[in-house]
Amino acid sequence: MTKNRNGKKIRLKETQLLILGYLLVILVGSFLLSMPAASRDGEWTNYADALFTATSSTCVTGLVTADTFLKWTGFGQVVILILIQIGGLGFMTVITTTLMVLGRKIGLYERKILMQSAGTMRLSGIVHLVRRITIGTAIFEGAGALLLATRLCPKLGFWEGLYSSVFHSVSAFCNAGYDLMGRYGAFGSLAAFSGDWVVCLTIMGLIFMGGIGFIVWSDVLDCGFNPKKFSLHTKIALYGTTALIFAGALLFWLFEKSNLLVGKSAGESFLICMFMSVTPRTAGFATIDYAAATDSSLLLTMFLMLVGGSSGGTAGGIKVTTFVVIILGVVSSARSDGDIVIGKRRLEKNLVNLPRGDFRRNPYYERDRAVFFGGYRHRGFFGNKHRRAVHRNNSRPNPDFANNFNAAHAYGQSGRAVLYACVYSKQTDTHQVSRGKNTNRLNGKTF
């Protein structure tokens, strides 16, 4: 609420309030991270690095300029953890939960904002949905922390292991990709646990539950876990996600069986491939050295990063539902069918069709083309330090490949559609306020 020159109150639009809210969270977080208490060297952190880290944490992208464990103190890590939780759940979800705990009533204006934040198109039942999101998040993150603690507490001690378990549980569920494994090597992510079934399956489960979407949770509960009663959105999200996970794992195995998987047991190879398929789409943890991966695996990773997770969750990308609708639209066009049919449901074909020439009216057209189809030659986009995992130690002399890989995980996981047909579609249920999801600093290089 603000006032104009005449003293009259002006109510901000829902999207304006969300943007201002996230901006405020980022600015406060960046100031806290720049303080000497947040840095292990006890000095003020360069504000650009603090701002980048705060933005990355709030937008749950997982990109970093320094190793989280080696750079930040416990205070700084807690600030990052809070920013991740706010960004994962949504700014308004956290505010509304606080108001409900304090006994405040949620008005129509707040409900509209919640509808935008949660990524749902229905105003009715939004407060109930927020309550489910809060309770479900606490259950999943708590269960994940307990499972991780069974492996980390024996290694790190009870309190340090418990803290690390909570941090990784929140980071995985919110699809942030931040880790505290720098004690085993800078930017090593979860490479030290590549063969640990408990750690890897727990992280994958948390990533899946956070990325599948809060709307899917609610629908599954309302339907009593009966697949026949699931909504079309839930079916597409669940079936599409499952197909992408297993198809991606199979392709990773084919691409890496003579490379990274040499000398690995069948069980560890399966675990690595499944992890490689789950984490790029939404989170950004890694159990392998992407600098040593084949080009085919990197291209597959880029594709999975661009697809992302499901609507209304903690993941980013163009969304699974959008991707499935586009594929079915292509199939429908090839068959000269009138509309897109999914099961017994019909979608209008103009959801994915766009007349030729309309692309150039897109305000993002030139930038999108430069990023994805121009070889990403604008090196200044990420600053001078453009080296990343796939460009480490000059193992890949072509910087354009590394830059395109960076563009895919940073840009494709931002929550805004990359495929122009999606940008202009009639607001399918895959469109929501951007809460970037990412693949983070894969095995060791920073900007």
Say what the pLDDT of residue 329 is. Answer: 82
For residues 431 and 415, what is the distance between their CA atoms, to the nearest angstrom?
A: 8
Mean pLDDT value across residues 224-247: 91
Task: Flag whether pLDDT at 363 surpasses 80.
Answer: no
Mean pLDDT value across residues 392-406: 52
Percent of the chain exceeding pLDDT 90 equals 37
Res. 186 pLDDT band, cuts 50 70 90: confident
- 342, β-bridge pairs: 345
Task: Flag whether pLDDT at 205 surpasses 90.
Answer: yes
Question: How does DSSP assign 217-266, residue by residue?
Answer: HHHHHHTTT-GGG--HHHHHHHHHHHHHHHHHHHHHHHHHTTTTTTT--H
Q: Are 364 and 440 in contact (CB under 8 A)?
A: no
Mean pLDDT taken over the chain: 76
Say what the pLDDT of residue 77 is. Answer: 96
Residues 6+ apart with CB under 8 A from 162: 145, 149, 152, 153
Say what the pLDDT of residue 402 is. Answer: 59
pLDDT tens-digit map of 18-66: 788 889 999 999 999 999 999 999 999 999 999 999 999 998 888 888 9
Q: Could you give the angle at the alpha carbon of 61 between the alpha carbons of 57 and 62, nearest 5°?
A: 70
Q: Is 265 left (phi over 0), alpha (psi -120 to 50) or beta?
A: beta
pLDDT tens-digit map of 405-429: 666 655 444 332 223 223 233 333 3
Q: Are 126 and 118 in contact (CB under 8 A)?
A: yes
Mean pLDDT value across residues 353-367: 46
Q: Residue 283 corresponds to which tokens in the numbers above?
A: 């989170």
For residues 119 and 134, what is the distance between their CA atoms, to the nearest angstrom?
A: 15
Res. 268 pLDDT band, cuts 50 70 90: very high
Q: Which of 200-214, 334-348, 352-366, 374-388 has the lowest mean pLDDT?
A: 374-388
Say what the pLDDT of residue 442 is. Answer: 36
- CA-CA distances (angstroms) from residue 61 to 194, 308, 344, 413, 437? 22, 12, 37, 7, 5
Question: Looking at this protein, which amino acid is placed at residue 394?
Answer: N
Exposure of 3 by Cβ count < 10 A (0-12 exposed, 13-18 middle, 19+ buried)? exposed
Would the pTM of this model clear 0.85, i.e. be above it?
Answer: no
pLDDT tens-digit map of 289-300: 888 899 999 999
Say what the pLDDT of residue 204 is. Answer: 95
pLDDT tens-digit map of 74-87: 999 999 999 999 98
Mean pLDDT value across residues 115-136: 74
